[in-house]
Structure 1
Amino acid sequence: MDTSRLLRTSGAVLAAAALLVSCSKPAGPDGDAVASPAQHGPDARPESDKATKPLDPLPTAVPAALRPYYDQKLSWHSCGPKGFQCATLRAPLDYAKPSRATDLKLAVSRKKATGPGKRIGSLMVDPGGPGASAINYLQQYAPEPAAVKARYDMVAMDPRGVARSEPVRCLTNKQMDGYTQVDQTPDDKAEQTKLTTAYKKFADGCRSRSGKVLGHVSTVEAARDMDIFRAVLGDRKLTYVGASYGTFLGATYAGLYPSRVGRLVLDGAMDPSLTSRQLNEDQTAGFNTAFTSFAADCIKKRDCPLGTKSTADAGKQLSAFFRRLDARPVATGESRKLTESLATSGVIAAMYDQTAWPLLREYLTKAKKGDGSGLLALSDSYYERDPDGSYANQMFANPAVNCLDLPPAFSSTAQVEAALPAFRKASPVFGENFAWAPLNCAYWPAKATGEAHRIEAKGAAPILVIGTTRDPATPYPWARGLASQLSSGRLLTYDGDGHTAYGRGSDCVDTAVNTYLLEGTPPAKNKRCS
């Protein structure tokens, strides 16, 4: 895992993985987590840190310098699948110093309401990341359910620095292949030096290729872009469904513009009051929870590649497998071999959704027999590497946003070493990997402009926050934390596995969300679904 807090919807992960598997190679993402109930329990973390400052709302009146952006007209044209349209939205690079000479060109897309029924307005979607393409998500997955798309124009905008919107670039495809194979669990000082050198080269590549935007891809700036898009679409208030990191983006919008909040759904929520260190340690425990669920299912089967004794023993066997790969990578049928780092990324990718567990069992079995092609495919899905060897920009945009939003979790290898016991306790299998990952921000060329904060959004309409109890990427306590901070937060709990809940098979969740979007009525307080 080469970067921290890569959060994406499980649907996007699995769809990409399935596509790549059919092409002999896969594609998928990364996330956060909740502590193992056996170790900490879902109530271990305080609902929010009262010491953190709240996010202050912006003035309700649009400043004169920004009025031209709010008054712009979009030129729509057909694009993508049938019925979709695309356009380009202008936004200031620097909201403090807007200038046409430095404007950003942001890609937006829509599909108009299909009917029947009266059109309600626009429904903006974002799948997370940071760095995932909202337009790709809209055009591939988001036009459902039918009842919602019938009443809303479905719309999306690739955030600044992402995909079609002034994308951050850092490395060539060949360089990225090398970067993904760097040992992320260094055993000695020499390996530590190799890892930090890789992080520095990555950062240098971002500086040289994307210097213009690196200091202006924060979540606050992306949320301000959303408000311009809302106004240009002609909507008085924002209706929005955000998943994973998309919940942080949506909550930030609510904090900045509480009076413009319409119907907001924040699924797989993040807690903005946590520091980078807290987020990464929680994420570590979260993936441990997910792996424990996978292992509990696996050991019931005769062909489980991690044995049939216990979940603890399965974890030991997976760790031993990773160590063997560290010493001797296995063949994959192509020039790249399956290294420890690539195998770890492949396993992590499969933690997003329990429907991927059979695939993971199969690929682990093959890898232990000397065929690493399956796990390599899952790793490629995690890194968004296409079969032709090209990479999408998500792995570049992700640290660009994360390292700008929060000060780094660690600033030196010594600090990581001191934190290793806590990370190993959170996850004996993934702890070391997750501890070293956030060190990349220590070398980032743009200084962090954000800090941990509460989001209260006082005066906002009811905001629906969804948390899944065994979510590996966004731990359930994060949803509780965000819902408790929001003055109008309404928590919906899904008792289940996997990342996010809406549209993943729970009629209870889907009915609650659809009723809220179509009728404006949020579910009852503390509603639970299973």
Structure 2
Amino acid sequence: MRAFGAVLASTLLASAFLASTVLLTGATPALADATWSPYPIAWTTCPDDPDNPGVPDGECGTLRVPLDWDRPHGPSIGLAVARHRATDPAHRVGVLMADAGGPGTSGAEIPLSPGYFGAEVEARFDVVGFDLRGTGNSSYIGCEIPDAAPDNEPADRARFEALRAYDRQVVTDCRARNLPVFDHADTAVNARDLDAVRRALGEDRISFHGASYGTLLGQQYAERYGDHVRAMVLDGVIDHSVDLEHFVGDRAAAVDELFGQFTAWCAATTTCALHGRDVLATWRQAQVAADAMPFPHNWLRDRVHQDMRIPDWDDVGRVIADTAAGTSPMRAEFVYNYTSIRLAVVCQDFDLRMPTFARYAAMHAEELRRSPIMRGSTIGHDEATACLGVAGPPANPPHRLNVSKAPRILLLSSRYDPATPYAWAVNAHRQAPANTTLLTYEGSGHGAYRRTPCTRAAVDGYLLTLKTPHHDFSCPA
């Protein structure tokens, strides 16, 4: 297993379709699910992992599920599952499933990493996680992506066609290396796997905590299996209803808003490397200097975006000051298989197709309009352009949220989140006002649950008691 701490940090701080009418409306699951039954999971002691010693009483196992849920008795694949039993079994509430998103992080490592949830939650829940298809020890999707990629901000039609040809070859090679799971890894499929885990555990209802991209797994599970949900927390909300312009543009606007928070912090903080200077002017100078350095395109924005997820304002100030002076090195970032698995997941969960340069140019113009300071969000732009090489419509098309069968769901978002914008949480809440409550963390960074005692207490109290206000509320920064 990959080290959970590094993977989770890169996700929470880094840190896509032709589905049936049944899924889109949240109606009764397809008959295929009912004709298949899981074998119980054979739990064993988890293998040693020197990078992640975890907890001594963690349990690991494998659940075999249909490769194609529409052919439930055809070929199957194995999902790595892990569990940490409630430490106070006499007062056990039930099972809490968790997913940290990515896509690409190992859900099976969450139960083996003590302290992710509050102590009382860990005392009263069996915490269970599984590696989604293509991640960790569940048919890991890994691709060889060439370093010499064309500029993914093409200035004309010829460069756009060169980028599209490159992306098409990358997707073709990646798919060939990772068949058959590559064609069966979108989030709607993962939601059916999640219910298979529930059934294998013998639970009628589960609680669920999803962070970042894991919030889409929770939403799609609640749409299809809402009557099997006891409680659900979605932290750093993905909006599955967004079109291309909002998928990219909302993130672009969010990073500019967050840069404003950095500017205000720097003006008030004497230890900021840019304190007393014109921050915007120095940032523009740094961007010009970065473009002339022999590093990958957009490396400076990538690094600042990563820092914003934490947020690490000290490092933002230092890297801008150093780069403007011509001395900033590029920092090596932790790498998991996000750049590979997004081709099989994100590109099938969202309609990011751009068949012409004119379509790309319109998207990019909107991105720049909404983000004049940061020149857009690298995560949104990179995901959209990476999907240029994916053929056909998305397998799991975006749609408005319909969780009418689910109980009250607690949505969390930081006010200034550069990866899953606050606007996405607000829009998801508007789509399901009858049974969602929005908790706003009035601060910065990606993910809210572990930020303050206020956010922890709100989430833990809801999971334990199912009590949460029907009105929206907030926690201070």
Q: Equivalent residue for 1:328?
A: 293
Q: Equivalent residue for 2:360?
A: 416
| Gap change, CA 1:63 and 1:94, over 3 Å in 2 | closer
| Gap change, CA 1:402 and 1:15, over 3 Å in 2 | closer
The code of the aligned residue for 1:451 comes to P
CA contact (8 A) 2:81 2:131 kept: yes
Q: Aligned pairs, how many?
A: 459
TM-score by length of 1: 0.79
Q: Equivalent residue for 1:519?
A: 465
Structure 2 unaligned residues grouped into runs of 5+? 16-20
- 2:351 and 2:393 map into 1 onto residues whose CA distance is 8
| Offset at residue 157 of structure 1 (A) | 0.8
| Offset at residue 228 of structure 1 (A) | 0.6
Aligned pairs for 1:69-468 (under 5 A) are: 69=38, 71-79=39-47, 80=49, 81=54, 82-100=56-74, 102-115=75-88, 118-140=91-113, 143-171=116-144, 175=146, 177-179=147-149, 183-187=151-155, 192=160, 195-301=163-269, 304=272, 308-309=276-277, 314-329=279-294, 338-354=295-311, 356-373=312-329, 375-377=330-332, 380-381=333-334, 384=335, 392-428=336-372, 429-431=374-376, 434-435=380-381, 437-445=383-391, 447-468=393-414
- 1:320 and 1:368 map into 2 onto residues whose CA distance is 5
| Offset at residue 61 of structure 1 (A) | 8.7
SS of residue matched to 1:207: helix
Structure 1 unaligned residues grouped into runs of 5+? 1-10, 17-26, 32-51, 330-337, 385-391
- 1:465 and 1:414 map into 2 onto residues whose CA distance is 37
Deviation sequence 1:310-341 (CA, Å, 0-9, x none):
5xxx3453244233332332xxxxxxxx3442
CA contact (8 A) 2:272 2:314 kept: no
Deviation sequence 1:133-186 (CA, Å, 0-9, x none):
2223443465431111011111101111122211222216xx3x445xx53334
| Gap change, CA 1:482 and 1:323, over 3 Å in 2 | same
| Offset at residue 301 of structure 1 (A) | 4.7
**More contact order relative to length (CA 8 Å, sep ≥ 6):** 1
RMSD in angstroms over aligned alpha carbons?
2.9
Q: Equivalent residue for 1:37?
A: none
| Gap change, CA 1:241 and 1:259, over 3 Å in 2 | same
CA contact (8 A) 2:240 2:350 kept: no
The code of the aligned residue for 1:110 comes to R
Q: Which moved more, 1:129-138 or 1:457-466?
A: 129-138
CA contact (8 A) 2:83 2:126 kept: yes
Aligned-residue identity in percent: 31
| Offset at residue 286 of structure 1 (A) | 1.0
Deviation sequence 1:11-44 (CA, Å, 0-9, x none):
867846xxxxxxxxxx98645xxxxxxxxxxxxx
SS of residue matched to 1:55: helix
- 1:231 and 1:54 map into 2 onto residues whose CA distance is 19
- 2:354 and 2:392 map into 1 onto residues whose CA distance is 16
CA contact (8 A) 1:416 1:435 kept: no
The code of the aligned residue for 1:56 comes to T
SS of residue matched to 1:131: coil
The code of the aligned residue for 2:211 comes to A
Q: Equivalent residue for 2:451?
A: 504
The code of the aligned residue for 2:439 comes to L
2:413 is the alignment partner of 1:472: no
CA contact (8 A) 1:272 1:455 kept: yes
Deviation sequence 1:211-270 (CA, Å, 0-9, x none):
312221111110010001011112211201101111111011000011111110111112
Deviation sequence 1:400-449 (CA, Å, 0-9, x none):
20111122252233322233322111112232855465122121156411
CA contact (8 A) 1:54 1:455 kept: no
| Gap change, CA 1:54 and 1:106, over 3 Å in 2 | closer
SS of residue matched to 1:109: strand
CA contact (8 A) 1:125 1:155 kept: yes
| Gap change, CA 1:322 and 1:28, over 3 Å in 2 | farther
CA contact (8 A) 1:343 1:376 kept: no
